[in-house]
Chains A and B, each alone.
Chain A
């Protein structure tokens, strides 16, 4: 919801869509590297882990998201040893909005995790903090970070999260991210599903209603928009398909099964996804738009979930991604621009989907390391 949660597609850097250089771009002194410069990325992320430059102050409401990208990014790069796991776990846990009593869980507030300290206040004399409000995206990031550093999620107060989360679900099945009111769209359905999945408890949401909302978001061309009626979009499609997978409505590797009826129009969806790979090898988020690093993950992950990732042109994709690799470390949205944390993270996830050596395997539907595949779980 805020400017830089992990699902904030097409937001932030105001780049001229025609590709003319914005003030933030620099012409490259040399041609792109032909390999993933892992060490440089690790150094870049280590620097951000220690200190974020002021350019990120406008995203400070989402500090937990910035932390998620940084820590999960290091984990993807097989560099989690750079992180003090206990310190991170304690820091993340301190963001949880805790109720005073069980009765409070029905008062409409969401007792999840804050995104940052900016609006987290110490309780007053009565132990109350009326201004405290959890956010769905921050809660997803918090749980993902805790899992990444090996913290046992079953030891946290998950009841408070799950019971109060139901207050955020709308009659049409969608989710609001905060109880004080905000837009509702597929991004937060995804966050809710991911939260329940990680906590191994579906009492936090009405899955059937959420499924109905998702199905209403499938566009006439097979992709999914962020809300019913909206243009099909790589990020919306990811949220839809990943949510359905997490909730158990679509099985693994759907395309190799010969069943003919699915709850979504799979052939149309597959064709839409395949058409998103553009002539430059990259993936676009919508028809007739420029390729952008992050869609190599959003659309690539959908294909992975369906069992169709093997069908893309991996060589062409790799070439495009390398053209977005920055000499400073990280990845940019388009070739020859400055890197940012969000596109860097999704650049790594895209390389993980490509099974690049030196990267950990990805769990496509959670957007983070496949801990089961690593033998940790």
Chain B
């Protein structure tokens, strides 16, 4: 962790402001296990923090001290907790607090305490903070579009404060940048199912199926749109099995004879759900089998398992297991 930006790294013991305070050393006790070789600045800052915390001094200098401690020790939830107590006691401007968090967010974008603290501040600022917050999260995501903490915070903001109107479009932008971004696909599902402006999953299903199919056409080897397609149907198996668009894209991909693993998987699942395949589909699958040594099994689901055992060989044992399960179910 970088050393404190405040006070130019001057030891607290040499500051007049802290002369009246006796730092409280950590009592490691006898025979400590995994003792840590703290650097001097770290140790000193935490010794002063302990003193102030124990005395429960909620003053401006205490606030500055928590800032210093956070720079050095951003994972320490006690420091963050005490900072909140001091902020409340001093009735501090919370917009400034947001600026503070934002400054340290870049080097701590995956720190749970920081995000929780941010949430605490936003809860107090209310819906006025909404658009600035959504904007900040976007800027964090522009550095790392899969930052789990940022996504978690974003979902919380949407649910607590709203702002759903532009979210589907934001997902579309992210997917244009990287169609393989599973976080963006997940967010899309989140918006489609929960936004009060879109009418819910049943209303959105047809257009979302089309969107997924377009993504598959470009990259049939992308796991995300396949999972998303399946997810659009949840437990409505009958509708899933009867969706012509899904059948059509499976057939289309299989006919290209390349990048067809996910298409075959989808077809296998549909067969297990009771789908009755057409002759055209059967022929397309058979055309994939290039072995001279043995013919493809007459049962289409079994045949698909055999093909997958060879082309998705990392999961060969899984495909053999799936094939055996078919026999049990029959």
Interface residues of A (CB under 8 A from B): 1-4, 8-12, 14, 17, 48-49, 51-54, 56-63, 66-67, 70-71, 84, 87-88, 90-91, 94, 117-119, 121-122, 131, 133, 135, 178, 180-183, 219-222, 225-227, 229-233, 258, 268, 271-272, 274-275, 277, 279, 281, 286-289, 308, 310-313, 316
Contacts and interface: CB of A to CB of B under 8 A. Distances in A.
B31 A10 contact: no
Nearest to B148: A10
A61 B113 CA distance: 12
B303 to A, nearest CB: 19
Contacts of B146: 17, 286, 289
A117 B152 contact: no
Contacts of A49: 33-34
Contacts of B127: none
Given A61-B75, A287-B224, A288-B182, A52 B34 contact: yes
Contact of A3 (B31, B75, B151, B186): B75
Given A53-B37, A54-B39, A91-B29, A221 B227 contact: yes
Contacts of B316: 313
A287 B227 contact: yes
B317 interface: yes
Given A94-B29, A183-B115, A230-B186, A54 B37 contact: yes
Interface residues of B toward A: which range? 35 or more
B148 A51 contact: no
A121 B38 CA distance: 19
B152 A274 contact: no
Contacts of A183: 112, 115-116, 119
B66 interface: no
B54 interface: yes
Contact of A52 (B35, B115, B182, B223): B35
B255 interface: no
A180 B116 CA distance: 12
Interface string B9-40: 00000000000000000111101111111110
Contact of A231 (B31, B34, B186): B186
16 contacts: A52-B35, A53-B37, A54-B36, A118-B50, A119-B76, A131-B54, A178-B81, A182-B112, A182-B113, A225-B186, A281-B314, A286-B146, A287-B223, A310-B317, A313-B314, A313-B316
Contact of B183 (A2, A231, A274): A231
B189 A220 contact: yes
Please classify the interface of chain A as helix (H, G, I), strand (E, B), loop, or mixed, using the class held by over half of its residues: loop
Interface string B313-330: 011111001000000100
Q: State the 8 A-B residue pairs at the shortest beta-carbon distance, nearest first.
A: A220-B231, A3-B75, A221-B227, A231-B186, A119-B78, A287-B182, A52-B36, A288-B180
A182 B73 contact: no
Contacts of A62: 75
A133 B80 CA distance: 14
A11 B317 CA distance: 33
Contacts of A4: 75
A17 B144 contact: yes
Interface string B88-131: 00000000000000000001001111011001100000000000
